[in-house]
Amino acid sequence: MAGESTPKYALIASTIQDRIISGRYPVRSLLPSEADLVREFGTARATVVRALEFLRLEGWLEAQQGRGRTVLGRPHTERSPAPTRVLRLLAGEDSTHVSLLRAAPVPATDRTADLLGLTTPARVIARRRLLADSGAMPPAFAIVHLPDGIAQRSAMVMNAPIGEDVVSRLSRTGHNPRRITERLTVRPATPREASLLTVHRGRCLLVATLVVLDGEGRPLVAVDAVQPADRTIVEFGHGLS
């Protein structure tokens, strides 16, 4: 079934991990260029870039402006737990803090298909949700995208609220969620987003894209969320050794 085979970017990432572990790519050495990897794996540059970004987020590589990507080796520590801002976007639809606006099957866009490792044309279940203003966190509008097969088996197809959080539901139905990647960008609100979030049109929004991955790096769920940027604080910790 589409979406259940390991996507190409995950296979590339796994191959590079194996080469780092074996010493073929030594620690502090430069990784081959994107162009070299595109030729070797016979795939699009966007797929290679996604694999490299995944490895950077996992702590295997470091990107250096003007030099390329440096090998850091196998990450020495476990990844830290997902922060509250991430878990909030995956929370259950309890109607008090998270309201389900609509859940329905839709054709996957090229972007959604790429995030989920699907071959187009494909169908996904889109769960559109509105997250209430909590005082500590601003209101947010989120769309949870699930491949049709995963949504069917985890009973997240129906157009009715689900009280259980997404990660717990996936775990209980045998999908083994293990990691979450997060990408943050900023852009002006669209008219629909401004209306949903009751903000002025053109107001700056923080855009979060989450992908929940299983133990083999296969995407299970993708989430697109927007919230007012001027009330959002994102903090990261970085080691110095």
Helix, coil or strand: residue 126:
strand
Question: Residues 177, 108: one domain?
Answer: yes
Q: What single DSSP character describes residue 100?
A: E
Q: Which of 21, 46, 71 is the last residue of a domain?
A: 71
Residue 78 belongs to a domain? no
Confidence bin at 131 (pLDDT 50/70/90): very high
Q: Give the CATH number of the domain where residue 150 resides.
A: 3.40.1410.10
Helix, coil or strand: residue 19:
helix
How big is the CA angle at 177 (ends 172 and 178), to the nearest 5 degrees? 135
Tokens standing for residue 76: 């020495």
Mean pLDDT over 188-198 rounds to: 93
How big is the CA angle at 165 (ends 164 and 171), to the nearest 5 degrees? 90
Tokens standing for residue 92: 């259950």
Helix, coil or strand: residue 183:
strand
pLDDT at 199 over 80: yes
Confidence bin at 77 (pLDDT 50/70/90): low
Residue 1 belongs to a domain? no
pTM score above 0.85: no
User: How many domains is the chain built from?
Assistant: 2
Which stretches of 80-147 are DSSP H helices?
84-89, 110-116
Q: What single DSSP character describes residue 30?
A: B
pLDDT of residue 5: 56
What domain range is 156 assigned to?
Answer: 84-231
174 touches 186 (CB < 8 A): no
Pairwise CA distance, residues 199 & 215, whole Å: 39
pLDDT of residue 76: 67
Question: Residues 90, 54: one domain?
Answer: no
pLDDT at 139 over 90: yes
Q: Give the CATH number of the domain where residue 22 resides.
A: 1.10.10.10
